[in-house]
Structure 1
Amino acid sequence: MGTITVKDGTQIFYKSWGEGQPIMFHHGWPLSGDDWDTQMMFFAAEGFRVVAHDRRGHGRSSPSATGNDMDSYAADVAAVAAQLGLENAVHVGHSTGGGEVARYVARYGGNGRVAKAVLIGAIPPVLMKTAANPDGVPAAVIDGIRAAVAGNRAQFYRDFPSGPFYGYNRPGAVPSQAVIDNWFRQGMTGDIKAQYDCITAFSETDFTADLKAIEQPVLVLHGEDDQIAPIAGTAARAVKLLRRGTLKSYPGYPHGMATTHADVINADILAFIRQ
C-alpha cells in the first residue's frame, strides 16, 4: 500500500501485491479499491500482480475540489502505473471505472503498457440519454442522483445498494446486508464534492473516440438486468466501436455482478487473460 502525489497535489492511494503480469482494477462510483477485494485475492492466488487505487476524492485518496473529470482520472492512473512500473498490464474497470479504463488505454496504453482490458457493467460509450443515444439513462434520473447525494448522501448510499445496484429490488432476490454495508462504508469514506462532480463525469462523458482508438483486445462483460447502466445503451454500443472487442452478457445479472456473481466473472476474466 502507498500513495503518490500527482501534479495538482492530490494524493492517490493504491495497494499492490503479488508478482507476475499486473492486473489493475478501477472501481465504480462512489466506491474505492476495496470493491475489488474478491478479485484481488483470486487473481493474486492465480499468480498475478494485483493493483487497485482509490480514485481522487474517493476512499483513502485525498479530497479533490477540482480535477474530478475523466481526463484527470486517466492521468492519475498513468501516474500510478508509472510509479509502479506496470507493463503488459490488464486493466479491469467496473461502471465509472470502465470509462476510466477506456480513456486511460486510449491515451496512455501504448508502448507495451497495456496488454488487454476488461469493461464490466461499464458506462461507455456514453451513459446519458441523448438524441444520438436513445437507449441511455434519462437526464432526470441523473439529476435525481445529484439531488439525493447533495441532500442526504448517507440515506442515498443506503438505498442505492439495497435496491438497483445489486438487483436486490427484484422479486426473489436475497439481499446481503454485509454487501450493502460494505458499499455504504466505501461511499461514505470519500469526499462528497468529488463524488458529486463525478456524477457529471460518469453520465455525460462521451468515450466514442476512446473506444475507436483502443488497439488492444477488450472483453466487455455486462448484466442483461443492469438497472444502472442498461446494456442497450452501453455495452451493446461499445463493442461495435472497439477494434478487437468481445461482448459477453449474462441473463438476469445486475450492475454489481462482480460482487454478486464473482465466481463466474472471475473465471471469465481469467480465461480471457490466458487465451
Structure 2
Amino acid sequence: MEKVIEYYKQFDEWGRLDRQPIEFQVNLHYIKKYLPSSGAILDNGAGPGKYSMELARSSYEITLTDLTPKSVEDAKRKAKEFNLTEKFDGFHVADARNLKVLSNQQFDAALMLGPLYHIQEERDRIQAVKELYRVTKNEGLVFVAFMPRVRHIFTSLQFPENWRPNNSMDAINRFDQTGCFNHLDEGRFTGAYYFNIEDIQPFMESIGFKTIELIGSNVGASLSEREWNYWWQKGEQEKLLELLIEKARDPYLLGSSSHLLYIGKKKG
C-alpha cells in the first residue's frame, strides 16, 4: 500500500470533491437519508475528512481513520479550522484491513468511501469488509464506495492514451476479466480494483450485511466540462443536482456512474 500512501501525500482529495461536487452531494444526500439522528460514526479511509466535517456539524460523534498520515493530519487541521475538533472521538492512521485501534461493535454507522477500490487482492478486500463488520453495531448502517468496471472500460475507450495501458483492446479485454488496473504513467491514479456491478451485493451480503440500496454517486459522469458549465451558467445547478439525486437510484444507470455507493445494514 506504499504507492497509495505516496499518491495521497501529493493528491488533493478535498479539492477533487470540490471540483466534482455532484459525487459528494449525491453521496451526502443518501448518507443523511439513512443515518440515525445521532450516534457514533466511523469514517474509514476518510482522506482529509470532507464527509466527516459535514457530519460533525450535525449531532454525531465522529472517528476518522486513514492509511495516509498526511491525510489524517490534514483532517485534524480541517477540524480545527471549522471549530469541530470536539466532535471527533479520534483521528487514527490505520489500514482498513486492520482496524485494531477500534473496538468491536463501536459504531452506529460506518463509512468506507475509498479503501475498497485501492485493494486489488480479493482476500484483502474481504478482510477490509470483515473489519468494517466487526466495528459496526448490530443493525448498524454501512456506506461503502465502489468503482464500476464497465464505466472504466468505456472511459478507456474514450480516452485510451489517458488510461494507459488501456490503450489497446487486448489490455481492455484483460481488464474486463480481472478488474485490476495499474496506470503506466508515473504519479497517476494508484493501482485499483473495479467491481462488476452484479457482484457488489452478493459480496457484501456474504460478509453479513443486508442490502438497502445501491446508488450511482455520479450518473452524469459522462458529461463533459463544457456540458456541465452550460447548466451552471444558466443557474440551473440545483435542479440538475435534484435530477441526478433522483436518477442515482435507477439500476439501469449504475454503469454510467464513476462511483457507486452501497448502503447496507449489519445483520444482528
Structure with larger Rg: 2
State the TM-score, normalizing by the size of structure 1: 0.38
State the TM-score, normalizing by the size of structure 2: 0.38
